[in-house]
Structure 1
Amino acid sequence: MIDQRFAEEIDKAKPLLYIPAAMEASRFDSCFQWIKGVFSPLGVNGIVMWPDVKNKRFRDLDRFSAVYIGGGNTFRLLKHVTDTRFNDILQSYAKRGGIVYGGSAGAIILGKHIMTCSHMDDNNVGLNEFDGWGLQAGIRFGATTIGKTTR
């Protein structure tokens, strides 16, 4: 239901960007098959996966209808996007009206604090800062967030 709402909100003429950085690299291919299986029946056929966001710039997001940040280890995800400074790019994208959708870890980092995941994720990356982005706006459903930011 929430995936359907997300699919209705985006411009299907532009591809969806999928970021699986919270997962182990060995699972990227199966994650990509999974997301295509979820969104293809909803009319979202153009999906591009960025397994790594290092050296990406704000203008690189222009060609996408929205960004889907996948699940996995929340600590790993937040460390990766912070270390690559992609967090600044994605927050800017959201603040300018870009649609950012997160599942599980991807939704948790959009909130104010990520420690809600500490009972299920191990901090095996040595993350010391646990603040999320505070971008959750729109519709919340479980560990999934959809919407444009109101900040």
Structure 2
Amino acid sequence: MTVHLGGGGDEHDEALLWDEVFLPGRRVALWPFAMAPGAQRDGSVRWFRAALAARGEFSVQAWGVGEDGEDGGEGDLTGVDVVAVPGGNTFDLAREIRQRGLWQPLRTFLDGGGLVHGGSPGAVLLGADIAIAEGLDPNHAGVTDTHGFDRVAGAVLRPHHEPSLTAELRHWSRRHGRVVIGLPERSGLVSDGTRARAVGPEPLHLVTPDGAERELPAGTTWRLTDG
């Protein structure tokens, strides 16, 4: 299992991360569920397809597309190399994955060694708790179960990080007793669930509940259980 977590920038901001996960020839299941069905979701799919096309030949199957968000030919994840979860609203994303009955299939895919790319809400979802996104996204979906997939050893991810938000990270970490990792838009993190690596180009910012803080420049590798 490897997750590739982006800070919420575009394909150019996250180019170093995309270089690792989106290798030509890979079969990609695109889950644009963080965007509302219809024009917004279709626009997300068009952007993603164009961004990948600039990198080579890929097989991309978009799930939940069309005017009502019900078509798209989705099925199981057999034969899929990468599940890609692009931007939008974190709480809408969590609700729709549960409503579609995809929570366990994605967990099984991860447990079986599958690759997942999470950009912004996708990155939050792969952490331990999506409540960290309350400062980013309105919870119009009414999500009350904020558990994430917990693929970063109990840490939570805060995309779109910038220095002015560091106090927010400190407060959240102390209040909830979790490590918080701030991901700037021009950054990425790769995790196998035990160890993590900062991809760059911008450094990550890690805060622990006891108030310790670390800047993690590109290339830094650390054991997640060590904070």
Contact 2:151-2:191 at 8 Å conserved across structures: no
Quote the residue 1:31 is aligned against.
Answer: 44
Find 2:99's aligned residue among 66, 71, 83.
83
Quote the residue 1:22 is aligned against.
Answer: 34
Q: Which amino acid aligns with 1:40?
A: A
**Mind listing any 5+ residue stretches in structure 2 that lack a counterpart?**
1-15, 154-180, 195-227
Listed as ranges, the matches of 1:1-150 within 5 Å are: 1-8=16-23, 12=25, 14-25=26-37, 26-51=39-64, 60-136=76-152, 142=183, 146=190, 149=193
Percent identity for Structure 1 against Structure 2? 24
Deviates more, 1:45-54 or 1:20-29: 45-54
- Bigger-Rg structure (1/2): 2
Q: Deviations over 1:47-103 (max 9, x none)?
A: 11002689x65xx21122210012111011111112222111101100110111111
- Output the TM-score relative to the length of structure 1: 0.81
**Mind listing any 5+ residue stretches in structure 1 that lack a counterpart?**
none
SS in 2 for 1:68: strand
Contact 1:100-1:148 at 8 Å conserved across structures: no
More strand by share: 2
- Output the TM-score relative to the length of structure 2: 0.56
Distance 2:118 2:147 in 1: 16
SS in 2 for 1:43: coil
RMSD: 2.7
Distance 1:43 1:106 in 2: 23
* Structure 1 runs of 4+ with >3 Å offset: 143-150
Distance 2:70 2:118 in 1: 16
Q: Which amino acid aligns with 2:43?
A: S
Q: 1:36 to 1:49 in 2, by over 3 A?
A: same
Q: Deviations over 1:111-146 (max 9, x none)?
A: 001122111101101111111110238xx9827555
SS in 1 for 2:91: helix
Distance 2:20 2:89 in 1: 25
Contact 2:151-2:193 at 8 Å conserved across structures: yes
Q: 1:42 to 1:147 in 2, by over 3 A?
A: farther
Deviates more, 1:61-70 or 1:44-53: 44-53
